[in-house]
Structure 1
Amino acid sequence: MDDSPAVHQEMLTTSEEQSQPNPVGCNKYRRLLLVVFSLSIFSLALGLGVYSHLQKTADPWTSQWKSAAPPCLSPACVRASEHFSTAMDPFSRPCDYFLFACGTGGSSTSDKRHRVKGIHSEDFGELDKKREMRIRRETDVQGNSTGGLVKFPDRKDALLKTVREILEDPEEGVSMSAAERKAKKYFKTCMDAESPEKVGSKPFLELLQQLGGWAVSDGWNQTDFNTTLALLMSQYSTFPFFSVYVGSDPDEEQTASDRLYIQIDEPHFQFPIDWNSKTQKSKASTRYLRPFYMSCGQYLNLLGVPSNKVTQHCGLYISLSTTLALFTAPLRYRLSQKLLYNRITIQELQTLAPAINWHACLQATFQPLPISKSDLILVHNLPYIIQMSQTINKWQDQHGMMGFGSLNTYMIFNLLHTLIPALDSRFFQTMRNFSIATGDTQREMPRWLRCIQQTERGFDILLSHALRERHTQNEAEELIHDVYSSLKKKLTDLIWRDDRSSAFILRKIKSLNPRLSTKTNNLSHAELNRLYAEVVLSEEDFFSNYLQMLVLEQRSRIRLLSHGTQTDGLSITPFVSGNDIIIPVGMFVSPFFHSSYPRALNYATLGSLMAKDLLHLLLPDIHTRANNPESVSMCIWSHYVSVTKDPGRVGTFSLSLFEQQEVWVQYSALQVALDAYKMSLARHPEDSSLSGLSYIHLFLSSFTKVTCDADPYREFMPFEPSFLVTVLCSNSRFCPTPLTCVNKSQRYPPEMCQSRTLH
């Protein structure tokens, strides 16, 4: 049946209405989609933000663990790569590493380290056998000294080698300062061994004539005792009866401008002196008097003195020398009796020791500085100074003209010893023979080393300037800043025994300012040239050059007294001056540091050594002020015993307080250096590497190598300090892989012995 048109129309209308969307429902749907889309965008942005933040705050080497950093190809890096091999890699053979890392790749473990308190040497029998086998394997692989792994040198040796390279570099035309040319000329004439041989003793005899002769010769003009003494002190750096130097008073509170004082002390005698602890008296060692007499006669023969005068003058010289030696005392006794740093005016000293014209002698020594009789000086072992004055008066009174002549001969002999390095080899060999007779078994110092030391005595400022100019750039300043900043964080992290200690130490650390070298090293080339303008050196006459070097050495003392600023010279040890910690430029030499090295190498080697130096300098008795040295060192010791012994015996061993402190210092230095490197990478994410190692891999390998080869504190450790890398890596996020040995049951917390400084 057909539908009616009306019904059909209604159905069409209804169908159309149903097919059209509902406006209200559609809007709700759109809003829902918008919300979902907005949440998705927000979540994505939040995720990217969190990821970006994590990337910025994460350890900068995290992404480098399994991939090598860009290689460093500079000449310095090529040389540095010779110091590394798999033998020093902490992660190649961990079972060997954390016991014997130093092996033949560094220094052998000393026997005394096997006899640590609480451990018997027989306990290490099996370990010794393994170590011996390992050393043999490495020797087979690495070969002898000509083909083996290159060791890090002693830091002092590295500095001296660098200075030698500076002094032997060919001249660079106008780019080299006139002062540097003079230093190189001095070194060159010193190295010329043939020149002194040609002239023999003639230069010294001519100098004696200028001084008025001496008592063993017929032409002596009997110059006044104090006149001769003042001349030797001021022009020839010779102090026969007492020594004179400039230094601070440790009992005086340090200020930003430390005051320095003239200091008077015992002289250096040419023969050994015995100390009797029962009688508390000194005496010249009688078994060495005959060799001393023989050397005296040989010197006189070399100077052409008639043989009939040798016995008389050598006898009087030895008699006066041994008499003066009776009044000396070793340092430990002078410390116990508080005989050091006695404040006294020059006038008061004149009253107590009138034989010496103190004002005239000191005025001549420090001219043109004004020296007043009311000036305070510091005297060490005043009883010696008083007895020395009385002895001089007795010899002048009792011996008459002979006594006066003996005093003159005594002074001239001291001058001769000062000038022996500038005379022909016969004099030096005579001195060397006497040293051997007194038991000196040290090898003879090579000529180049003696010449460097002499050059430094006169050209200390110039050499410090040259070291800074050539070897320390912005990287050095950054390393100092980072290490000290990390060290301050480390000390803040300590648990102090009381609030007073905490406040004192933290205030001290925060008030000090570490800086590279000293003010005098900021001199320009023009200022350096003016400083050495009066120095005129000969191309061939080393003797006259040596005399000029002595004058320069005296000027250094004058400059130190007037300006109160020490030059670090050939130093490798930081020191405190006022509110500054002076970091010597001599520390920043290869292979410990180079501006082109990967920063991982610089921070692991010099950074860790610097941290140890600073901790020893600033906190010599940290174990009395904080709890950390004991707790951390015992944690590390327990870890060490757990991998070398039956873990059940861990609690049966202990360390002395000294060992506890040293273990803490060594481990803290590793942590400080690592944290400092993290600071550096945060500023400069890019770095290079050596031998295909990642950043942290190179850092830990470098620390191991330098600790084994060149750490002076290593001998005071109860185990190889390189073992500390194992402890650090107990928290595996710091290391490419965990340092574990599958043959040992190592049970320790995942962040054992760690510090908040590293988190």
Structure 2
Amino acid sequence: MSETPIELELSIQPSSQPGLERGLQSPLVFQLPLPTQDPPETHQQTQPQPEVQLSESNPEHRHQAKPLWIKHRRLLLLFGGFSLCAAFLGLIYYKHQNLQSRSNNQAGAATPCLSPACQRASAHLSTSADPFKEPCDYFLFTCGSDGLSPDSGGRQRGQGILGHQQNYNGKSVWSERRGHSKEREDRGVRQEKILDRKTVLLQYLREILESNNRGTSSAVQKAKGFYNSCLDTRAIETAGVEPFLTLIQKLGGWAASGQWNKTDFNSTLSLLMRDYATFPFFNLYVGKDPNEIARGSTKRYIQIDQPDLLIPIEWNTKTQKSQAKAQTLRRFLATCETYLALLGAPPSSSMLHVGMFMSLSSELAVATSPLQYRLSKGQLYQRMTIKELQIQAPAIDWLGCLQAAFHPLTLMEDDPVLVHNLPYMVQMTPIIGKWLNKHELSSSGPLQTYMVLNLLHTLMPALDSRFSEAAKNLSVTLGNTEEQVAPRWRHCVLETERGFDSVLTHLLRERTARREAEEVIQNIFSSFKSKLHELKWTDKTSPQSVMKKVHSLNPRLWTSNEISSEAELDLLFSKVSVNTHSFFSNYVQLLSLWQKRRRKLLTEQTERVDVLSVTPLLLGNELLFPVGMFVPPLFHPTYPRAMNYGVMGFLLAKDILHLLLPDIYSQSETVRAVGECVWAHYLTVTERTSRGGAFSLSAAQQQEVWVQYSALQIALQAYRQSLKNHPEDTSISGLSHTRLFLSSFSQVNCDFDPYHGFMPLEPSFLITVICAKSHLCPSRLQCPSKTQQHTLQTC
């Protein structure tokens, strides 16, 4: 077959057949304007001329020819009929060849995309495995975990979006038959790994923060300065523990490392909550009351929950109590001793303070309980006033602490709060009272030690690596062997977002091609609605309720108009001073900014944009798509639309199906039928049935297969509609439109989402299913196997 890309045509089957894309209204062919060319002479068809010429000038011949013509009339008519049929077949052959020629030359006629983004994409595609050149190896890897399939094929999830790396250690069915060239192995190793959409967004934010654009606002420069100070690990190591010890002195000191001024317990707690976002005895956040959300209320409340204790504990289902094992406590004790040694505490007092911290933590831990238990006991979202909470748990000055945390907002005793574990708050009071009144320990300040070590945990990301190494070693000894250390840049991007989220939101909004993103959103949602009409429902009420819900939604790009200019950003961060050589001081300011964000949430009525969100969400009747979804390399305004729809269109369609149809398996017969059909294709191509490696799909797996197969169909239909409205499109790597669409889709490698564990096969294999009974794909998509001779059903 020629190396020239073939334009892929998607035809619509008649209604009497279970054809692909039944929801599409009319067949379309993706074609670009072709250069004018004359048809090849070899395809010209001419009518045959009779070999005998009758002369009308000779009467004798005319007289003798008549009987001859009559005699052979049937033969001549038969010969003429064959000639007409030959001419007709020749015309069909010519048109077919001409169409083939047009398809083969179409990529050359397409306008190539030469933008920097397209050049990077072209270089990437050139080094990626091409599903149309090596289908036998490409499609047979498995997305699911090793436990999902008897023969997973070696390829593991999370090895890339838009250019994943092949795992050539695991051999596919065809690898033993065809072998792997050294060149292809080397190419696979060179390919870039992009784990998931969240990583793609973080990498894009990293590029923004590391860019050296002059003339930007002071707020943007401060965000970049904070990020760069986080990257400067040499300065962090040089500073050591001195910044933290200096901070402790501002809080009244600490008996373990020097002088303690015996500060008031509630005063110190208020300072920790206000300036350092540290909550040793209880958690504090802002959120809505779920009982009011159904009524459309946007009011937010202060919510008080049990703390995230530092001591490792587990839940005893028999005693219905939290507890810690002795072996676990010994390891935690050793880690705490390491912390105090790093802080310069003398060995003589170190053991005393560690012992007090462990004892107090253990007593508080007994009063805590896991979320599921509290939910079963109705202990979540208990509404009460601050005054009522004060009566139930008098050890804490609730009004004073809450006023400090939400300063300068004015709070009153009658203001309502939502409590999530009132029994813990009640039991916390005598525990705190007991440790406050222990006269033999009054000079040691056990509660001060407890609060200082909690503050240490809050500020540990800004301290030198010795602390993080100690924490990592504890985590490993407790059994968290799979914990991976994130690269420094990722950690710094996340920390920057905590304080400068408004800056990053503004920068993302300014760089997002909103018009192009909105067009993709609207086209995908329209195609999604047409897909719903194809479903066969188990009852009459299901489609009515689903369609009513879908048609009431307004899909749109989720952007924030909170900050409309850089001048407003500069004013918002005018009091922030970033020291490029002191990440610790910058981090302390970040905690203050974080607390201000929490305070602002209490007064805002609109939903705050989450700059790190990469999946759509429902908010009333609005279906919101965060701008963080539309970033390179997943999406770019200069990409050919075939590429944007093949990648982002598929991801959007998959997200919509998961969000709006979370459990459709029991409501539609189509889900099971399509899931089984796709799985039958997979078993046939991989020869698993004959090798005894087949297994049946669960309901959840069948639904996920249907979701991803439908998402590909939806994206393809949306792209076709886009081409119908705007026939022009550019090209990358000389690929024709539809081939670029499918090639781009094949790079999306097992998108990591909450449903990823239910996908038993590589999504790229869905191309094989779509191409089974159509002219979509080149013939070499088929593998040279006897199983490929079987007629495969169109799903």
Q: Which residue of 2 aligns with 1:191?
A: 231
Q: Which runs of 5+ in 2 are unaligned?
A: 1-24, 33-101, 153-169
Contact 2:133 2:780 in 1 (8 A): no
- Residue of structure 2 equivalent to 1:322: 362
- Counterpart in 1 of 2:727? 685
Mapped to 1, the partners of 2:184 and 2:203 lie a distance apart of: 29
Describe the SS at the equivalent of 1:636: helix
Number of the residue aligned with 1:59:
28
The alpha-carbon distance between structure 1 residues 228 and 581, as it changes in their structure 2 partners (threshold 3 A), is farther
The amino acid of 1:664's aligned partner reads W
Once residues 134 and 551 of structure 1 are traced to their aligned partners in structure 2, the CA distance between those partners, rounded to angstroms, is 62
> Which residue matches 1:602?
644
Give the drift of 1:614.
Answer: 2.4
2:111 alignment partner, SS class: coil
Deviation of the 1:457 alpha carbon: 0.5
- Give the drift of 1:397: 4.0
Give, in whole Å, the separation in 2 of the partners of 1:712 and 1:735. 31
Give the distance between the partners of 1:163 and 1:605, measured in 2 at CA: 20
User: What corresponds to 1:513 in structure 2?
Assistant: 554
Q: Mean alpha-carbon deviation: is it higher for 481-490 or for 213-222?
A: 213-222
Q: Is the 8 A contact 1:472 1:585 kept in 2?
A: no
Is 1:112 aligned to 2:152, yes or no? Answer: no
Instruction: Tell me the equivalent position of 1:294.
Output: 334
**CA drift at 1:277:** 2.1
Task: Name the residue aligned to 1:468.
Answer: 509
- Shift of the alpha carbon at 1:411? 0.9
Paired residues of 2:312 and 2:329 also in contact (CA < 8 A): no
Q: Is the 8 A contact 1:189 1:539 kept in 2?
A: yes
Does the 8 Å contact 1:497/1:627 carry over to 2? yes
Aligned to 1:487: 528
User: Does the CA contact (< 8 Å) of 1:396 and 1:403 recur in 2?
Assistant: no
Please give the alpha-carbon distance, in whole angstroms, between the structure 2 residues aligned to 1:428 and 1:132. Answer: 44
State how far apart, in whole Å, the 2-side matches of 1:255 and 1:457 are: 31
Aligned to 1:165: 207
Match of 1:702 among 731, 738, 744: 744
Q: Which residue of 318, 322, 337 maps to 1:278?
A: 318
SS of 1:516's equivalent? Answer: strand
Give the distance between the partners of 2:587 and 2:564, measured in 1 at CA.
Answer: 25
C-alpha RMSD over aligned residues: 3.1
Whole-angstrom CA distance in 2 between matches of 1:344 and 1:493: 50
For 1:354, what is the secondary structure of its paired residue? Answer: coil
After TM superposition, give the deviation of residue 210 of structure 1 in Å. 1.6
Residue in structure 2 matched with residue 311 of structure 1 by the alignment: 351
Q: 2:305 aligns with which of 237, 241, 265?
A: 265
Which range moved further: 81-90 or 526-535?
81-90
**Superposed displacement of residue 324, structure 1:** 1.3
- 3-state SS, counterpart of residue 332 of structure 2: helix
Supply the AA of the counterpart residue of 2:535.
Answer: L
Alpha-carbon distance between aligned partners in 2 of 1:435 and 1:578, rounded to the nearest angstrom: 41
CA offset digits 1:180-202 (Å, max 9, x no partner): 01101111222222323333322
What per-residue deviation string (whole Å, max 9, x for no partner) do you get for residues 100-125 of structure 1? 4x7xxxx7x754343399xxxxxxxx
Measure how far apart 1:312 and its partner are. Answer: 1.1
Shift of 1:431: 2.7
Q: Deviation string for 1:560-607 (max 9, x for gaps)?
A: 222142221222222233333332222222221111111111111122
| Aligned CA distance change for structure 1 residues 379 and 709 (closer, same or farther; 3 Å) | closer
Query: Is the CA contact 2:231–2:488 (under 8 Å) kept in the aligned structure 1?
Result: yes
Q: How far apart in 2 are the matches of 1:567 and 1:339?
A: 29
Name the CA distance, whole Å, in 2 between partners of 1:333 and 1:745: 57
Q: Unaligned 5+ residue runs, structure 1?
A: 1-55, 118-126, 754-759
1:711-750 map, 5 Å:
713-732=755-774, 734-735=776-777, 740=782, 743=786, 744-749=788-793
Query: 1:70 matched to which residue of 2?
Result: 111
Deviations 1:409-428 (A, max 9, x none): 11111111111222233333
Q: CA deviation at 1:160?
A: 1.6
Q: Which residue of 1 aligns with 2:566?
A: 525
For 1:359, the equivalent position in structure 2 comes to 399
Q: After TM superposition, give the deviation of residue 302 of structure 1 in Å.
A: 2.6
Query: 5 Å matches for 1:601-640?
Result: 601-640=643-682
Q: Residue 534 and residue 625 in structure 1: after superposition, are their counterparts in 2 closer, same or farther (change >3 A)?
A: farther
Deviations 1:142-199 (A, max 9, x none): 41555x44455422222222111111111312xx122101101111222222323333
Residues 94, 218 of structure 1: alpha-carbon distance in 2 compared, 3 angstrom cutoff:
closer
Q: What is aligned with 1:22?
A: none
- What letter is aligned with 2:213? E
Q: Which of 599, 603, 611 is matched with 1:558 structurally?
A: 599
Amino acid in structure 1 at the alignment position of 2:464: D
The 3 A distance-change label for structure 1 pair 57 and 145 is closer
Q: Distance in 2 between matches of 1:273 and 1:199?
A: 33
- C-alpha displacement of 1:249: 3.5
Written as runs of structure 1 = structure 2, the 5 A alignment for 1:208-223 is 208-216=248-256, 219-223=259-263
Q: Against the structure 1 CA distance between its residues 268 and 136, is the aligned structure 2 distance closer, same or farther, given a 3 Å change threshold?
A: farther
TM-score, structure 2 normalization: 0.78
Question: How far apart, CA to CA, are the structure 1 residues paired with 2:120 and 2:149?
Answer: 34
Amino acid at match of 1:59: L
Alpha-carbon displacement from aligned partner over 1:464-514 (angstroms, at most 9, x marks no partner): 221222243421222222222222332344333344433333333233333
Q: 1:637 and 1:249, CA in 2 relative to 1: closer, same or farther beyond 3 A?
A: farther
Alignment partner of 2:717 out of 675, 686, 696: 675
1:130 to 170, 173, 176: 173
The alpha-carbon distance between structure 1 residues 480 and 417, as it changes in their structure 2 partners (threshold 3 A), is same
CA deviations on 1:695-746 (whole Å, 9 max, x unpaired) are 1111111111213576774442222222222222235255566955563243
Cα distance in 2 for partners of 1:389, 1:453 equals 36
Contact persistence 1:461–1:567 (CA under 8 A): no
2:238, 2:193 → 1: CA distance? 41
Aligned residue pairs, count: 677
Kindly indicate whether residue 579 of structure 2 is the aligned counterpart of residue 538 of structure 1. Answer: yes
| Aligned counterparts, 1:352-431, within 5 A | 352-397=392-437, 402=442, 405-431=445-471
**Could you say which residue in structure 2 is the equivalent of 1:503?**
544
Which secondary structure state, in structure 2, belongs to the residue aligned with residue 666 of structure 1?
helix
2:186 aligns with 143
Tell me, in whole angstroms, the C-alpha distance in 2 between the residues paired with 1:416 and 1:588. Answer: 38
Identity of aligned residues (%): 50
Contact 2:283 2:305 in 1 (8 A): yes
Check the 8 A contact 2:537/2:669 in 1, yes or no: yes
Tell me: CA distance 1:414–1:152, structure 2 relative to 1, closer, same or farther (3 Å).
closer
Please report the TM-score for the alignment, with normalisation by the length of structure 1: 0.82
- Alpha-carbon deviation of 1:400? 7.0
Distance 2:294 2:192 in 1: 43
> What's the CA shift for 1:686?
1.1
- Give the whole-Å Cα distance in 2 for the aligned partners of 1:259 and 1:498: 38
1:340 aligns with 2:380: yes
1:94–1:428 CA distance, 2 compared to 1 (3 A): closer
- Measured in 2, the distance between the counterparts of 1:232 and 1:612 equals 44
Q: Is the aligned partner of 1:657 residue 2:702?
A: no
Q: Secondary structure at the match of 1:320?
A: helix
CA-CA distance at 1:276 after TM superposition = 1.9
Distance 1:494 1:360, change over 3 A: farther
Could you say if the C-alpha distance between residues 440 and 204 of structure 1 is closer, same or farther in structure 2, counting changes exceeding 3 Å?
A: same
CA distance in 2, matches of 1:647, 1:540: 64
Matched, 1:201 2:233: no
The equivalent of 2:222 in structure 1 is 182
Q: Per-residue CA shift, 1:334-389, capped at 9, x if unaligned?
A: 34444333333333322322222222222221222333333333322332232223
- Matched letter for residue 670 of structure 1: L
1:638 partner SS? helix
Aligned mates of 2:299, 2:124 — CA distance in 1: 44
CA distance in 2, matches of 1:521, 1:585: 15
How many Å apart are 1:237 and its aligned residue? 0.7
Once residues 403 and 619 of structure 1 are traced to their aligned partners in structure 2, the CA distance between those partners, rounded to angstroms, is 62
